[in-house]
Structure 1
């Protein structure tokens, strides 16, 4: 790739994840503080990510892959997204806010596949080149959090009391508009599929890979992937409100430690794969979820703040060792014929079904332990995902038979 194309793709990735990280992390805190949303309502808002993940294959498979250049679709979706962000910025109740966030996530989730498609189309060796482009996405997410906490101080107690967190939607709306118009300057990425080629719902959703579930090991991994999304949902939905409520300073900025950790453990993943194998690596990822939530349960914003920071820093192990390892495992089990279908199936099962269930459970439990003064019994709340992750760990450890997986 030329330096110009490298810059274009890197800037695209930076803005793509700056946009997501710039509002999604603080969403729970915003809804509780600004719109007086209940745990169930917050769960409903976060669940729009799952609905977006379920709808995304249809937008990509039926429209982007068949009729229009990927960069043009990306541009249109982000420009429309900018409008919805502005409407969210002005919403004064949850009932007004929810249709906007649902529409936004249905538009945004397909863009995750589009930015990858645009990038891969310019690469001769994606295995070597993609990570150097994708890392700018993680940097974008980190920068968004640092700006919120350390530049504008929108998540400080004083700013939150004044309703300043709503400014995240305005910031992200501007970034979305910039990416929308910038997308039309990106390298051309024409449709990959002929208009005449027959497409089925099963192929769009990756259901052609269901026959892989006949393999007992893959079935256990598949079910574990769905179940581990329940504790994952607790982190996305509750971590920022929890840190804000107990008085941790600059909570959004501190949560970027998780993304920094994600980059570091991504680099360590090949070593762990080679030395310990797939089963032990993925078990380490599961166990990290339990440890993280125990640290959240017993840490505080005083002398034990370090426990909370360690819990955040475990994100690299929690995410990379389970989800990235799982993508590699799925790739090797599926073979060439079902490779794309299998990845689509896992994405649908985790970010679609698994997270949908997880957000609902997290909302119910959070509401159960709501105090009269508006606070929460956080120690009890965090014990639920800790115990659930430990249960999944035990089931996987006992039932999954070790097998050698090559990491290339």
Structure 2
């Protein structure tokens, strides 16, 4: 089997694990367990807490001691065991604690899987910028398949979604050990403790362009978990409690409606090379930021009845909002850093987006929801995304103009 097909399987399973619970968990917590907005937000903040240090730690380990593909497998198997332990819990503290621990081992696998893919493609003599997006798109396909399967099997409002995710994690955990080897970097004698511990990637903050990039990664990361945490709960429980919308497709099959977002991702991932060539890295990221404004605003104005077209449009916009920054940002980090700190640098990117950004965003969103209620909260989120986009347009400077991007691709 060619390296591309092997990486496609990895990508499919990597995101199917997440898709099995990420979108539907909020509906289960808010409906089945009747947790508050703050409590729901805290579960999604676990991804932020984990991403503050676990991707960096695992990136360092992968760079220095354990090959990334083996570490990927270890993390998935441990995470699966923790999900199995979490599934039967119904009280807040034990369920929260076990989800937090499982996420500690899942979040690093996102950057680890990127590193495995980049290394395998480079070793095969392939251009990562050209070859990676078509492989990564299968991750989104896996996410969609898991979402739809969980919905159709009736798991979206039960703890069975966690068992499903655990089963997929075991499969990928075992499969990871068969992937191409990612060599570790030997520690040279007489080098500084910073290099010995693999912390050199954090020196990227000394470069103004990288510091600004990472700060805006954090600010945009605030937006990432908001719809993951509350979109399903909003459609299922908020509209489901209104007689006018009971029985509508958006209420009864919110997971499938939301899966349009991931379907949009599949197209948008493939469009990234074209947009990078045509508009350059900064403009592609700007497009992403203003797409978040539309995403939130349309959620606030739409409904599962005669306004369902606005919800569908919001889902379509999500592909641009998510991919144009996350995938382009990952490629930007890969191109701007030395191969010796590649895994660590991807870990830092994860810290800023899914770490600080998701942590602050999840808790802040929960507070906004409890204080403001629906649908006004969506308009507050839209205003925030607009301010971030305008600031990015003024402050961020990139040397990658369209002509230079053509040479990269």
TM-score using structure 2 length: 0.84
- 1:287–1:68: structure 2 CA closer, same or farther, 3 Å change rule? closer
Compute the displacement of 1:310 (Å): 0.6
Aligned length: 385
C-alpha separation between the residues in 2 aligned to 1:183 and 1:325?
Answer: 25
- Is 1:357 the equivalent of 2:350? no
Counterpart residue number, 2:206: 211
Counterpart residue number, 1:324: 327
Q: 5+ residue gaps in structure 1? A: 370-376
Counterpart residue number, 1:135: 137
The 8 Å contact of residues 69 and 189 in structure 1, kept in 2 or not, is answered as yes
Moved more, 359-368 or 260-269: 260-269
The 8 Å contact of residues 221 and 396 in structure 1, kept in 2 or not, is answered as no
C-alpha separation between the residues in 2 aligned to 1:190 and 1:282?
Answer: 30
C-alpha separation between the residues in 2 aligned to 1:192 and 1:292?
Answer: 41
- Is 1:105 the equivalent of 2:100? no
C-alpha separation between the residues in 2 aligned to 1:320 and 1:289?
Answer: 11
C-alpha separation between the residues in 2 aligned to 1:380 and 1:311?
Answer: 16
C-alpha separation between the residues in 2 aligned to 1:11 and 1:332?
Answer: 25
- 1:187–1:55: structure 2 CA closer, same or farther, 3 Å change rule? closer
Task: Give the 5 Å matches for 1:56-95.
Answer: 56-62=55-61, 64-95=62-93
Task: Give the 5 Å matches for 1:178-193.
Answer: 178-184=171-177, 186-187=178-179, 189=181, 191-193=183-185
Compute the displacement of 1:325 (Å): 3.4
Task: Give the 5 Å matches for 1:50-61.
Answer: 50-53=48-51, 54-61=53-60
C-alpha separation between the residues in 1 aligned to 2:8 and 2:84?
Answer: 26
- 1:380–1:205: structure 2 CA closer, same or farther, 3 Å change rule? farther
Q: 5+ residue gaps in structure 2? A: 241-249
Corresponding residue SS for 1:210: helix
C-alpha separation between the residues in 2 aligned to 1:341 and 1:77?
Answer: 16
C-alpha separation between the residues in 2 aligned to 1:342 and 1:111?
Answer: 14
- 1:292–1:98: structure 2 CA closer, same or farther, 3 Å change rule? same
C-alpha separation between the residues in 2 aligned to 1:279 and 1:47?
Answer: 28
C-alpha separation between the residues in 1 aligned to 2:391 and 2:78?
Answer: 44
TM-score using structure 1 length: 0.84
Compute the displacement of 1:189 (Å): 1.9
Report Cα offsets for 1:257-301 as digits up to 9, x if no partner: 112211212222333333334443322221111111111111111
- Is 1:21 the equivalent of 2:19? yes
C-alpha separation between the residues in 2 aligned to 1:116 and 1:328?
Answer: 10
C-alpha separation between the residues in 1 aligned to 2:322 and 2:361?
Answer: 16
- Is 1:347 the equivalent of 2:384? no
The 8 Å contact of residues 80 and 165 in structure 2, kept in 1 or not, is answered as yes
Counterpart residue number, 2:112: 114
Counterpart residue number, 2:235: 243
- Is 1:267 the equivalent of 2:270? yes
Higher relative contact order, structure no. (Cα contacts within 8 Å, ≥ 6 residues apart): 2
Corresponding residue SS for 2:184: coil
Counterpart residue number, 2:194: 200
Compute the displacement of 1:354 (Å): 1.5
C-alpha separation between the residues in 1 aligned to 2:98 and 2:310?
Answer: 36
Counterpart residue number, 2:392: 396
C-alpha separation between the residues in 2 aligned to 1:134 and 1:402?
Answer: 25
C-alpha separation between the residues in 1 aligned to 2:331 and 2:119?
Answer: 21
